[in-house]
């Protein structure tokens, strides 16, 4: 089961903080850029992304239970970038990390089925993010493949961006759209007694939404928005069901580009590690992870 592997990884590291690998050219330290980039081709930039990602993973793999890889930044480099996307997932698995491919796919049944197979049958991918706009017959192929391959899903409920309210916070006769999506996710979940393999995404920038929905959801909540986007540890703490499990908090730039704040580019691995440690301390102080918690007694 995906969720059992996830929980075991969180417990072994006393940490629910996940690192996001969303490389951009301006995020790459000077010494790596110089080594690979001469003409600025996609192939060269992809090589720099790969060295950078590998460095970040080496720097944090023993602290983080999981890694999230945002495919958009690799698609931007075409096939060269996508090769690095798959290599990054492979290397993360080698290092014992649970992988989240942040692909946010969604389509009608037969197409959703192709997407589901594309990602959930890949042995380097433990879970993916999914867009719910199509309703249940667009989600079912993902559910089916997640069960067959013992993988996890994180279905978008309330996204971290400011404009998310325009659609997701619209009020219907029976609740807000984000609540309707949360209800839909609940009906799709297997009848589990513990945590479900089907999680959701709720931005840490919306603590009220997390608070309201946590008790109604049986899966983990993937919480983006900590750090660069402004979500605070106290906001995110509502995502933990028993103050120790139930939320996966993701930060990308604030970790991977921490060297811009702390020091020099050639020590980016050490600085990513330092930033992650600070994040873990901050989150655990509020979630009491690593202290006296239910699952550790």
Mind telling me the catalytic residues? 104
Give dist(CA 219, CA 3) in Å, integer.
8
Cα–Cα–Cα angle for 80, 267, 289, rounded to 5 degrees: 90
Query: Closest CB to a second copy among 133 and 295?
Result: 133
CB of 199 to a second copy, least distance (A): 17
Query: Closest CB to a second copy among 96 and 175?
Result: 175
CB of 79 to a second copy, least distance (A): 6
Cβ atoms of 204 and 223 closer than 8 Å: yes
CB of 295 to a second copy, least distance (A): 31
Q: Dihedral sign, CA of 288, 11, 241, 256?
A: positive
Give dist(CA 138, CA 192) in Å, integer.
22
Task: For the chain, report the end-to-end CA distance as a whole number of angstroms.
Answer: 23
Query: Closest CB to a second copy among 119 and 195?
Result: 119
Q: Dihedral sign, CA of 256, 236, 150, 296?
A: positive
What lies within 8 Å, CB to CB, of 11 at 6+ separation is: 295, 296
Residues contributing to the site for a second copy (CB under 8 A): 22, 24, 70, 72-73, 75-76, 78-79, 82-83, 86, 104-112, 114-115, 117-119, 122, 131-138, 156, 159-168, 170-173, 177, 180-181, 184, 224
Nearest to 106 by CA among 125, 82, 133: 133
CB of 215 to a second copy, least distance (A): 22
Query: Closest CB to a second copy among 181 and 279?
Result: 181
């Amino acid at each position: 089961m995906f969720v059992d592997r996830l929980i075991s990884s969180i417990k072994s590291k006393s940490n629910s903080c996940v690192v996001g690998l969303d490389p951009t050219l301006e995020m790459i330290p000077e010494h790596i850029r110089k080594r690979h980039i001469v003409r600025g081709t996609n192939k060269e930039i992809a090589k720099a992304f790969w060295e950078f990602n590998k460095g970040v993973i080496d720097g944090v793999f023993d602290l983080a239970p999981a890694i999230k890889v945002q495919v958009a930044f690799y698609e931007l480099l075409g096939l060269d970038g996508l090769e690095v996307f798959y290599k990054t997932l492979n290397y993360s698995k080698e290092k014992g990390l649970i992988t989240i491919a942040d692909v946010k796919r969604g389509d009608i049944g037969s197409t959703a089925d192709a997407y589901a197979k594309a990602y959930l049958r890949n042995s380097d991918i433990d879970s993916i993010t999914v867009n719910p706009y199509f309703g249940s017959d667009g989600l079912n192929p993902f559910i089916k493949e997640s069960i067959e391959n013992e993988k996890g899903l994180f279905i978008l409920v309330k996204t971290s961006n400011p404009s998310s309210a325009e659609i997701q916070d619209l009020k219907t006769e029976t609740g807000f759209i984000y609540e309707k999506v949360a209800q839909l996710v609940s009906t799709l979940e297997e009848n589990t007694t513990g945590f479900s393999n089907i999680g959701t995404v709720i931005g840490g920038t919306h603590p009220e939404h997390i608070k309201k929905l946590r008790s109604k959801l049986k899966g983990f909540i993937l919480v983006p928005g900590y750090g660069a986007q402004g979500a605070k540890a106290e906001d995110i703490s509502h995502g933990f069901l028993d103050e120790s499990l139930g939320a996966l908090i993701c930060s990308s730039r604030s970790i991977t580009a921490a060297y811009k704040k702390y020091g020099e580019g050639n020590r980016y691995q050490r600085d990513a590690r330092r930033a992650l440690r600070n994040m873990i301390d901050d989150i655990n102080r509020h979630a009491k992870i690593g202290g006296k918690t239910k699952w550790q007694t």
